[in-house]
Structure 1
Amino acid sequence: MALASCARDADRRPNVLLISLDSVRRDMLGCYGAKFGERSPSPNLDRLASEGVRIEDALSSTSWTLPAHATLFTGQPELVHGVEQDGQRLGDSFPTLAERLRAHGYRTAGVYSGPYLDPRFGLGRGFERYRAGYGPELAAAAETARATLARVHALDGSTSRAHGHAAIEDNARAERALEVASHRDSSSRTVTELVLAELAADDGRPFFLFAHYFDAHFDYVPPPPFDRELDPGYAGSADGRDFVRRLAAPEASKGDTEHLRALHAGELAWIDSEIGRVLDELERRGLAENTLVVVVSDHGDEFLEHGGLGHRRTLYEEVVRVPVLLRWPTGLPAGETRSEPVGLSAVAPSVLALVAGKPEHAALLAPAAGEPVLARLVLSPTGERMKVRVLESFRRGDLKLLRERSLDPSRTETLRWIDLALHPDEPAQGWSTDFTDARAREALQSFRAEHARLARERREPPLAEKAEDLLAAFRGLGYAGEEARVGALTGEVLVLPPT
């Protein structure tokens, strides 16, 4: 221990703890104004915000987990790294934050708790240890999915069509079961225990530790007492399971929706209590003063603000505006906020700038006024090529553009804009398709220029193991054109420059 302490004294670069909250929108945290009765669902994160810097207008690159984390780890927007569908993984040409820090002498470890952060998607690169914090049911479902995929991988030219179809369907069922199990899983305690074990594994090097907390993702089933304490007076029948059907029912009330929000907040409160244990352990070990803690979310969830529930459907503010908090007692001011819009792509380069002792280069702390932020979402609900849609949002200050294109040539592009200073809730009547407004015209020109610049930098991602095996299986069975079905369309199809 003495040698480790001496080594740490000789190396005053900060440790880095990066915490990702899955599916937590900005306005669910108390430090951003959330209150349920008189209670904040996030007292530990609120305290961390008061001791550091709160980013007021941080925007995700999308509204679902996989591409958002690819952006978080690389500092590249979705249009550049190209990971936009389930069948893709992050390409080796994009170095991750873990790879960069490991190359500079950091001990690197990651703990994840959602299937989209599985190593097969390329997000484990650079971590000396990268472990799943799954509960027993999800761990078993993940193993079954791996086993059925191995059977797909083993298919060859001698396989009968019937046997090949059976193997593919077995894997499809296993993947659906994996998704269901991930929604039911309660993993925050397991994640925390693995994080605490990593903190105990001090070897004298500064550490980079990544912790992914998935429990705020639906289903919303927080453990007691978090299941009741934020909405104790509710007497209805809505619960955090199967909520899409329940809230779509004619008898669903505003109280049902608010109860669902309270259950979601209960999940956050559960996670917050676990993060509190991690922060306390940093203090106990004397690590807090020289540890840069960064807390982010990959996206939010919607609660009928625009008629939908959950995420991966739209790019409205409720799903792309996310919390970002930074604390480093010896390196950052306390109790400050930054208000300029900034993308999730600024996190990795900002961490690198801070550990290099160059805070002036940290875009999170000093975003340029009017810096554009682009988000993308590729939708393929049926796996049919002609039904694939590409949504893009573009923020420049308070001006937001929203664009939708389809691979169906019979459908025309839609493009509209809104002033969020006047219409922060993005009501239907606040949007305009009239670009005679000078600010809207300027934003559109900036959108076209930024889209063209990023598209030139795009590198096509390789296929994830699952998509690669499924495509090979389909082709071996005599089928072609299944790229949309397995989530593996190319950027040549999807880039779609704005007209």
Structure 2
Amino acid sequence: MKADALLRRFAAALLAIAFASGDGLAEEPRMNVLFLISDDLRNELGCYGSDLAKTPHLDALATRSVRFDRAYCQFPLCNPSRSSMLTGRRPTTVGVLGNRTWFGVSCPEAVSLPRHFKEQGYQTLRAGKIFHGGIDDVEAWTAGAQQRYFGEGATARPPVHRERGPDNRLLSKTELSDRWIVLPNDGEGSGDERIASRAIEYLRQADPDEPFFLACGFHKPHSPLEAPQRFYDLFDADSIPLPPDYAPRPTVPEGFPAGSIRPSNADLFVGRDSTPQTAREMIRAYLASTAWMDHNSGRVLDELERLGLDDRTIVVFWGDHGYQLGEKGKWSKAGSLWEQGVRVPLFIRDPRVAGNGQTCPRVVETLDLYPTLCELCGLPTPEGLEGRSLATFLKDPETPSDRPAYAVWSEDGEHVTGVAIRTERWRYAEFFGRGAGPMLTDPKTDPAEMVNLANDPRYAETVERLSKLANDYAKGWTPESSASAQ
């Protein structure tokens, strides 16, 4: 091992001792941050117990990290989820309930996570999708900012990219997304390959005298599902099992409120039914697209280690929301307040902490990431953040906690039409407006959420308590409360 690498490891060991002893984090050298993000990724990774996934690079990272088994996003849609995480505020606080609202207009006082790091002297580097497309926080980045497009008020309208099919006909939005693609050769020049390559160049070119905050946001497995052929070859469609509640089209389970399932899909099988065979083929494509994202994540992680930066870098891996793959006939995330829709993969590797290699079973929210990174990097925490630092769980993943996680949904981008609550014991959701009603499921005995206990008299007290929490969380935002205020 080279002398400079030995010195870096010795410095990291000293920092670990200081962190574990509670003496605080040393100010120098300041830690780098590598923030990896995947789009539309549910907990379908080998490290989360998937028997199907082929994700060796992220699985290896998870074994060196604290893996959070019960992490939940605050909104099952890209822009609201990312805006909440990147501002450390609830969707209702930041005022982002749809994919076309930029938080800089709806909540101008909010300072985004990368901008805060930039103001604290970090190189802030962007590769790929961090904020939603066309709604970047341009001023937050030292390099890599994306042009922001505006319509009226807080509405961002990115330009529409249209592709043509083999017959030279312009493809519709549905045709662009509701499909799977085999990338030629080994995917050179495709979106995620270029994102990884850009992140690698940033790592190579980063000023060694200044810490960096590098955010690398992969597009996959977001539709259209895509990967080179060798990743499809990892899976046999005929042997892929269907979920126990598979249905050919979105179907509200018996005894559940109608608002729990949107009547049509938003990403895959849009306007058409699936069959058991086409469902298996689509799941295979999702798994291949996930394996492709894992491959590109591995390229970045390997470069971090090759450059000798891993002992000075906090690595976060996060998925922006969950996804349903045929459960209850649903093939998307939009509107899903079910476990598959709001539970997300999350693991954090800080080389100084004692909890690496362990699993944290506590319920956490993704808006907790902002204050966590502030604490780990020794930065001041801005006012107005609504998350809590997870640093305690990185030292001792078994630390007790009874704090629930919340997620909301909005059908119109203006009102909260559903609230989900995950506690250590229960999953609860309540819907307002169309298809109103409550649902209570038991994760221990009913992980597939097939039995609604909300109307069972034995759980009346639990339902009453959780309903109050849900209504308090959405106060002033439900269709009913908006109508009564007029």
After TM superposition, the score normalised by the length of structure 2 is 0.73
Q: Distance in 2 between matches of 1:413 and 1:60?
A: 22
Structure 2 contact 64–356 (Cα < 8 Å) conserved: yes
- For 1:74, the aligned partner's letter is T
| C-alpha displacement of 1:389 | 7.0
Structure 2 contact 311–351 (Cα < 8 Å) conserved: yes
2:420 to 393, 398, 401: 393
Q: Distance in 1 between matches of 2:312 and 2:39?
A: 26
5+ residue gaps in structure 2? 1-6, 12-26, 164-170, 184-189, 241-266, 381-387
**Matched ranges for 1:408-487 at <5 A:** 413-427=436-450, 429-434=451-456, 437-452=460-475
- Name the structure 1 match of 2:391: 362
**Matched ranges for 1:74-473 at <5 A:** 74-90=87-103, 91-113=107-129, 117-118=132-133, 120-131=134-145, 186-203=190-207, 204-231=209-236, 243-244=268-269, 248-249=273-274, 252-253=275-276, 255-356=277-378, 362=391, 365=394, 369-380=401-412, 390-406=417-433, 413-427=436-450, 429-434=451-456, 437-452=460-475
| C-alpha displacement of 1:493 | 5.9
- Name the structure 1 match of 2:16: none
Q: Distance in 2 between matches of 1:172 and 1:202?
A: 33
Q: After superposing the two structures, state which structure 1 stretch, 311-320 or 331-340, moved more.
A: 331-340
Q: Percent identity?
A: 22
| C-alpha displacement of 1:361 | 5.8
Q: Distance in 2 between matches of 1:496 and 1:275?
A: 44
SS at match of 1:211: strand
Q: Distance in 1 between matches of 2:482 and 2:214?
A: 37
Structure 2 contact 237–281 (Cα < 8 Å) conserved: no
Structure 1 contact 218–310 (Cα < 8 Å) conserved: no
Deviations 1:422-457 (A, max 9, x none): 221111x234235753333332333344445xx6xx
- For 1:417, the aligned partner's letter is L
Compared CA separation, residues 362 and 102, structure 1 to 2 (3 A): same
SS at match of 2:225: coil
How many residue pairs get aligned? The number is: 404
| C-alpha displacement of 1:226 | 0.8
More helix by share: 1
Q: Distance in 1 between matches of 2:223 and 2:112?
A: 28
- Name the structure 2 match of 1:469: none
- Name the structure 2 match of 1:239: none
1:15 to 28, 32, 50: 32
Q: After superposing the two structures, state which structure 1 stretch, 210-219 or 85-94, moved more.
A: 85-94
5+ residue gaps in structure 1? 1-5, 133-141, 154-167, 236-241, 456-490
Compared CA separation, residues 89 and 341, structure 1 to 2 (3 A): same
SS at match of 1:221: strand
SS at match of 2:356: coil
- For 2:362, the aligned partner's letter is E
1:25 to 42, 57, 66: 42
SS at match of 1:71: helix
